[in-house]
C-alpha cells in the first residue's frame, strides 16, 4: 500500500533505538525525510546510516527530551535542515519503574518532564505550522498501561492515561485543520526498555529473565513478544493518507493482551 506520504518531513523523538528507531525506519521506507533525536552519538550515527540507506534525507540531534530548550533547538534545526515538519512521533524511554510506596516527589517530577511535558512541548512546536498548511500527523508512542495499569509502572500508568486524554482533546481541536492526532499503545515488544523491565521483575520474583519472557509470552494471546517493526508499521499507517479519518484514538498493538472492550 502506498501511504501517500513520500516527501513529507517527520520528527521522531528518541529515534535512534527501540520503537522510535522502528518508527523512523518505517516512515523512511515510505519516502519521508526524517529527523531523529537521541542522547548517544554512536546510536544516532548508526540509525542515521540505516535511514540514509533508504534514500531519504536525514537529520540527527543530541537531545534530552525532558529539557524544553533542547526540544526548541531540535525543532528549529530539523526545519532548517529538512523543511516544515509534517509528522511528529513523540516517544520516550519511560519513567522510573517502582511501586507507589517507593516513589519520591523527584521521581514524579522527572516522570512528568520526560513522559508528559515533552509531548506537550513538541506538539506545541509543530502544530502552528501544520495548521497553516492544513495537514499534519501526530502519533504519541505510549504504552498499554494507559488502559491496563500495572503496579510496578505507577508513574507510567498514571501519565500514559493522561496522554490518552491529551490525544483526544488535541484531535478534537485540530481535526478541521486536516491534522490527525493518535496514540499508539504497544504491549510487550523486544526493546531495551522491555529487557530492563524483565530484569527488574525477574529479580523481584526470583526467576531468570528467560523464565520471565516465557511466562509473559504465555499470557499473550498471540503467544509471543512483539517486534519493534510491527509497531513501526502501525505508526506509519496512522501517518498515511489512507488513515485520514482516524483521529483521537489510543490504538493497542499488544498481541491481544489487554482484554477490555474499549
Cα–Cα dist 144/67, whole Å: 25
Cα–Cα dist 126/202, whole Å: 40
Helices (H), the chain: 18-29, 41-52, 68-82, 105-111, 118-133, 154-174, 192-205, 209-219, 228-239
Residue 198 has what pLDDT?
85
Residue 205 has what pLDDT?
85
**pLDDT of 73 above 80:** yes
Q: What is the dihedral of CA 197, 186, 164, 99, to 10 degrees?
A: -20
Q: Cβ-count burial of 109 within 10 angstroms (0-12 exposed, 13-18 middle, 19+ buried)? A: exposed
pLDDT digits (tens, 9 = 90+) for 142-178: 999 999 998 889 999 999 999 999 999 999 999 999 9
pLDDT digits (tens, 9 = 90+) for 217-250: 999 999 999 999 999 999 999 999 999 999 999 9
Residue 201 has what pLDDT?
81
**pLDDT of 3 above 90:** yes
Q: How many CB atoms lie within 10 A of CB 130?
A: 23
**pLDDT of 203 above 90:** no
Q: Cβ neighbours of residue 260 under 8 Å, at least 6 residues apart?
A: 147, 148
Residue 196 has what pLDDT?
82
**pLDDT of 107 above 80:** yes
The domain ranges of the chain are: 9-188+227-253, 190-225
Over the chain, what is the mean pLDDT?
95
Query: What confidence tier does 5 reach under pLDDT thresholds 50, 70, 90?
Result: very high
Q: Cβ neighbours of residue 155 under 8 Å, at least 6 residues apart?
A: 95, 96, 98, 103, 107, 108, 111, 115
Percent of the chain whose predicted confidence (pLDDT) is above 70: 100
Phi and psi at 242, nearest 5°, equal -60, -20
Query: What confidence tier does 197 reach under pLDDT thresholds 50, 70, 90?
Result: confident
Q: Cβ neighbours of residue 100 under 8 Å, at least 6 residues apart?
A: 151, 154
**pLDDT of 113 above 90:** yes
Of the two residues 10 and 95, the one the predictor is more confident about is 10
**Which whole number is the average pLDDT over 55-74?**
97
Strand partners, 141: 184
Q: Write out the three cell numbers for 212.
A: 520471565
Cα–Cα dist 184/186, whole Å: 6
Cα–Cα dist 179/85, whole Å: 12
**pLDDT of 194 above 90:** no
**Which whole number is the average pLDDT over 2-6?**
97
pLDDT digits (tens, 9 = 90+) for 8-27: 999 999 999 999 999 999 99
C-alpha distance across the termini of the chain, in Å:
28
pLDDT digits (tens, 9 = 90+) for 38-49: 999 999 999 999
Residue 104 has what pLDDT?
97
Strand partners, 10: 34, 87
Q: Which CATH superfamily is domain 9-188+227-253 in?
A: NAD(P)-binding Rossmann-like Domain (3.40.50.720)
- Between CA 88 and CA 209, with CA 50 as vertex, the angle to 5 degrees is 85
Amino acid at each position: 500500500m502506498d501511504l501517500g506520504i513520500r516527501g513529507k518531513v517527520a520528527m521522531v523523538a528518541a529515534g535512534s533505538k527501540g520503537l522510535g528507531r522502528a518508527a523512523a525506519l518505517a516512515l523512511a521506507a515510505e519516502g519521508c525525510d526524517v529527523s531523529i533525536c537521541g542522547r548517544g552519538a554512536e546510536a544516532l550515527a548508526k540509525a542515521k546510516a540505516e535511514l540514509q540507506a533508504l534514500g531519504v534525507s536525514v537529520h540527527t540531534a543530541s537531545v534530552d527530551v525532558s529539557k524544553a530548550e533542547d526540544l526548541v533547538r531540535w525543532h528549529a534545526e530539523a526545519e532548517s535542515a529538512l523543511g516544515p515538519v509534517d509528522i511528529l512521533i513523540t516517544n520516550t524511554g519511560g519513567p522510573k519503574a517502582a511501586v507507589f510506596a517507593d516513589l519520591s516527589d523527584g521521581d514524579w517530577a522527572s516522570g512528568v518532564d520526560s513522559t508528559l511535558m515533552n509531548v506537550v512541548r513538541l506538539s506545541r512546536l509543530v502544530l502552528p505550522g501544520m495548521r497553516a498548511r492544513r495537514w499534519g500527523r501526530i502519533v504519541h508512542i505510549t504504552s498499554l498501561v494507559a488502559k491496563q495499569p500495572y503496579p510496578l509502572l505507577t508513574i507510567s500508568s498514571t501519565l500514559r492515561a493522561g496522554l490518552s486524554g491529551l490525544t483526544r482533546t488535541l484531535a478534537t481541536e485540530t481535526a478541521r485543520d486536516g491534522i490527525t492526532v493518535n496514540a499508539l499503545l504497544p504491549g510487550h515488544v523486544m526493546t531495551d526498555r522491555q529487557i530492563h523491565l524483565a530484569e527488574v521483575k525477574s529479580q523481584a520474583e526470583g526467576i531468570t529473565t528467560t523464565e520471565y519472557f516465557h511466562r509473559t509470552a504465555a499470557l499473550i494471546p498471540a503467544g509471543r513478544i512483539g517486534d519493534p517493526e510491527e509497531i513501526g508499521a502501525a505508526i506509519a499507517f496512522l501517518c498515511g493518507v489512507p488513515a485520514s479519518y482516524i483521529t483521537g484514538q489510543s490504538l493497542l498493538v499488544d498481541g491481544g493482551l489487554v482484554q477490555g472492550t474499549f
